[in-house]
Amino acid sequence: MEAATNEHQEAEPQKLKIDKFADGHTQCLRFEGAIDEDFDGKKLAQSVKAKTLVLDLANINKISSFGIREWVDFIRGVEKQTEEIILLECAPKVVDQLNMVANFAGDGKVFSFYAPYRCDYCDSDGRVLMQVDKDYEVIKSMNPPERTCASCGETEYFDEDPASYFLYVAGQDQFELEPDVAAFLSAKLNYVVSDAARRLRVDKFIEGRSTYIGLSGDLDGAFPRDKLGEGLEGIVVLDVSGIGKIEPAGAAEWRTFMQMVTPSVEAMYLLGCPPAFLERLTKPEDLGPKAQVISFAMPYSCDKCATTASQQVDVEQHYDVLKFATPPEMKCGDCPEPTVCAASEGLLSHLPTLPKPEITPQTRKFIKQAKDRKPAKKAAAAGAEISPRTGGGAGTALVAALVAAVLAIGGVVVYDMVQKRRLIESARQRDEVGTKIEASAAKRPAWLTSDTRFSNYCTENAAGLSCVGVSSYTSNVPDARVEATEAALEGMAHHVGLKIKDKEWARTVRKLYGDTRDAKLGAFDKARTDPDGATYDRARREVMEGRRAVAEALKKTSGGAVPSQPSAEYWEQYASTASDGSSRFLMFIRFEITKANVSRLVEQYGKPETALGASAVTLFPGVAWRYPDVTTGAIVTDLESGDLRALGLAEKFIVMSIQSREVTDAKVFATMITEEVERAKKEGGNIQIIVKTGDTLPVEFNKPIPKRETARPAGRGNRGNRNPGAFRGNTWEQTGGKQNRENPFD
């Protein structure tokens, strides 16, 4: 959860202002003011042209009765013209209408919203931004935690009835933004979005001697240069249109990647370069002798319809203009009016350095084929670097930039620097130690390639899989050893899960735990620089508990494939900066398993067993991130009509026991359920199944199954038939008496 800034505080109702930002197939409408009878919803809907429409509703301060009517008309209109509608940063007044007005959001999904908080100590009201990807557990529980007031440091509380306020959003499923949408919102408009959605994703397509690589997400130090560059040859097309933020470490990794692959390829073409990428990573020394920029994105603004959008510029087509540092003329995508280029002077001055591309018609045909093969997954083109909350049009953006410069002279920049220094100092103190006093070996071992505290990493080699866990600084070796061991084993389980390629497994099992894992690790990464020590401690504790649960589940279910003891360990002792003079220890633990055992685990957790129309896999240890108390069982990954669906089972259910007997894996599940259903049909009786589903306690399904009647002797009538009326009274029942259905068994 993110605290809201002062700009989101409620203001007096004002005339509605709408700003438009577009990038490829994504459009964002930013609303500010009051939605009343002056809002022409139908007219606005007609102007929307996008696959994904994002509605920023943070600054809505009033919605009148007539305004609701117009808004619903607007939603109905845009539903016909878009594939997806996402509501972002909904103000409390919007949340109220979502809870009260049917079809207020239509088929749209709420990604983030503000929750009102109150501090009685300093008599202040505030808002906290909540997201459905990382705050899902809090939303579903309808139990928002108390917070520390940013003004006075005392405790502030949620200032609404949780059951009423979270009613609409709690009814949604948890979801993440698509990578191209997240990149647009995060990198171009500076919204808070999912860390997981911004992680780099790679799409690779090969045809003949040509290779297409599409990249979407942030470019940081985790860029997989070695894996991506391994074996590259022939003609390589790098589609970087989906690249978001570029960190210094990511830029360095990219340059190394380009140098590494240049000798082995015939030619490289960069496609859809975002403005920041174009300016920072396409200098002559970055491109080298074989790389060329085919196209790039530049921001253009339309004064008539107040839309700021990126436009793709083909270098070959516009080369005669670009070589004079002049942007080509472009028309607005929403209206036929000319637009004004809003690119920075630095970007424009860089244009003459771009070489004129030499590209064959065959390569252009390959590029089109690669981009068109999955239109729905294609990354949106990168667009304008637009500051949030500034309004639309080049003129507004320029005024905002000038105002910002003036304010900086007055001290805003100094304030920001102080705040940034405070965060850095806070993080430094958490990981600060004195000089190294002692170590378990004279020098660090070769297998230790990263010393990021409280982390893990795995590498594959000729022998198999090696996973290393790193502790945080602790006061003693035993605690450090436990932290590092659990980190290494959790990393091993995660790596094994990534090697399971079955689509149904990914859709059910990986989805079951992946969002929770990403949310907790993302919260901890963010908390590393949070000055609030309580926030850091809470995030660290949740990661530690998750790793511990996964490690225990892995040891319990691996069947001996995972060794009970590490293959190596190494520790270092440091002098403490604390006044008590105590030492601090840092531990590194390494676990190794053979290739054969890796394959065995992939098959053990990923191979489905079938029974009575259902497919199930053995409980994967990673599920312990979400359900730490569930260490054995079978997960239903696919379910057709049949006996098990009639029993009440559904996909993603974790079957823990049948007839009070523990289900240890998928094979045991398939055997037990088949035997018990067949027995019940022959003898009659109940089948009791305990499952884990959702975030409630395990649920018991206790189902009566009537005895199957045997065929009557010839001449006595109704041979082999049962009286259908004899079974209408039989029902099945979920614990708590919340569900009763007619018995559908034959």
For position 29, which CATH number holds? 3.30.750.24
Q: Can you give the pLDDT at residue 725?
A: 36
Tens of pLDDT, residue by residue over 625-644, are 999 988 889 999 998 877 88
Asked if residue 653 and residue 594 are part of one domain, the reply reads no
* Highest mean pLDDT of the ranges 68-72, 575-579, 726-730: 68-72
Quickly state the pLDDT bin for 496 (edges 50, 70, 90).
very high
For residues 12-29, average pLDDT: 82
Last residue of a domain, one of 175, 196, 230: 175
What is the DSSP code (8-state) at residue 108? -
Measure Cα distances from 403 to 397, 410, 412 in Å: 10, 11, 11
554 lies in the same domain as 626: no
Please give the Cα distance from 655 to 699 (Å, whole number).
Answer: 10
Please indicate, yes or no, whether residues 253 and 304 belong to a single structural domain of this protein.
Answer: yes
Q: Does the CA dihedral 644-509-550-602 come out positive or negative?
A: positive
The mean per-residue pLDDT over the stretch 20-29 comes to: 87
User: In this model, does residue 110 exceed pLDDT 90?
Assistant: yes
Identify whether the C-beta of residue 686 lies closer than 8 Å to the C-beta of residue 702.
yes
Q: How far apart are CA 19 and CA 21, in angstroms?
A: 7
| Co-location of 560 and 709 in the same domain | no
In this prediction, residues 668-675 reach a mean pLDDT of 93
Is the residue at 391 inside a domain? no
For residue 10, is pLDDT > 50?
Answer: no
Q: Are residues 489 and 360 in the same domain?
A: no
Q: What percent of the chain has pLDDT over 90?
A: 39
226 falls within a domain: yes
Q: Which residue has the higher pLDDT, 465 or 522?
A: 465
Query: Is the domain of 231 the same as that of 360?
Result: yes
Q: Residue 299 falls within a domain, yes or no?
A: yes
User: 155-174, pLDDT tens digit by residue?
Assistant: 899 999 898 899 999 888 88
Rounded to a whole number, what is the largest CA-CA distance in the chain?
A: 105
Highest mean pLDDT out of 189-203, 221-235, 483-497, 571-585? 483-497
What's the domain range around 486? 436-508+548-600
Considering the domain architecture, whether residues 152 and 296 belong to the same structural domain is answered as no
- Domain end marker among 126, 146, 175: 175
pLDDT at 485: 96
Is residue 227's pLDDT more than 60? yes
Q: Looking at the structure, do residues 19 and 152 belong to the same domain, yes or no?
A: yes
**Beta partners for residue 692, in sequence order:** 654
Q: Which residues face 271 on adjacent strands?
A: 239
428 in a structural domain: no
Q: What is the CATH number of the domain that holds 696?
A: 2.30.42.10
Q: Model confidence over 320-374: pLDDT tens digits?
A: 999 888 889 888 877 778 888 888 888 888 899 999 999 999 999 999 988 887 5
pLDDT tens-place string over residues 385-436: 333 333 344 444 444 444 444 444 444 444 444 444 444 444 445 667 788 8
> Is residue 526, in this structure, part of any structural domain at all?
no
Answer whether residue 53 shows pLDDT above 90: yes
Residue 696: band (very low, low, confident or very high) from pLDDT cuts 50, 70, 90: confident
State pTM to two decimals: 0.44
- Helix (H, G, I), strand (E, B), or coil: what is residue 346? helix
Same domain, 139 and 196: no
Determine the average pLDDT of the residues in 487-491: 95
- 554 and 655 share one domain: no
Q: How far is CA 700 from CA 66, 207, 314, 686, in A?
A: 49, 53, 62, 12
Does the residue 516 lie in any domain? no
The answer, yes or no, to whether residue 707 has pLDDT greater than 80, is: no
Tell which wins on pLDDT, 740 or 355.
Answer: 355
Do 484 and 554 share a domain, yes or no?
Answer: yes
Q: What is the mean pLDDT of the chain?
A: 81
pLDDT for 547: 95
Is residue 406 classed as helix, strand or coil in its secondary structure?
Answer: helix
Number of domains the chain is built from: 4
Helix intervals (H) in 528-570: 533-557
Strands 291-293 and 124-131: unpaired
Share of the chain above pLDDT 70, in %: 83
Q: Is 65 exposed, middle or buried (0-12, 13-18, 19+ CB in 10 A)?
A: exposed
Whether 490 is covered by a domain: the verdict is yes
- What average pLDDT does range 497-524 have in this prediction? 87
Q: Which of 144, 175, 206 is the last residue of a domain?
A: 175
Cβ atoms 729, 742 nearer than 8 A: no
Model pLDDT for residues 551-581, shown as the tens digit of each residue: 999 998 888 899 989 999 999 999 877 655 6
Q: What is the pLDDT of residue 430?
A: 61
**What average pLDDT score do residues 483-509 get?**
92
In this structure, is residue 386 part of a structural domain? Answer: no
Q: What is the CA radius of gyration of the chain?
A: 29
Helix crossing, 595-606 with 477-498: angle to 10°?
Answer: 70
State yes or no: pLDDT of 13 exceeds 80.
no
- Identify whether residues 169 and 184 lie together within a single domain: no
Q: What is the DSSP string of 427-477?
A: HHHHT----EEEESSSS--TT-----SSEEEEEE-SSEEEEEEE---BSSH
CA pseudo-torsion sign 671, 677, 681, 684: positive
pLDDT in tens, 265-321: 999 999 999 888 998 899 988 898 999 999 998 888 887 777 788 888 999 999 999
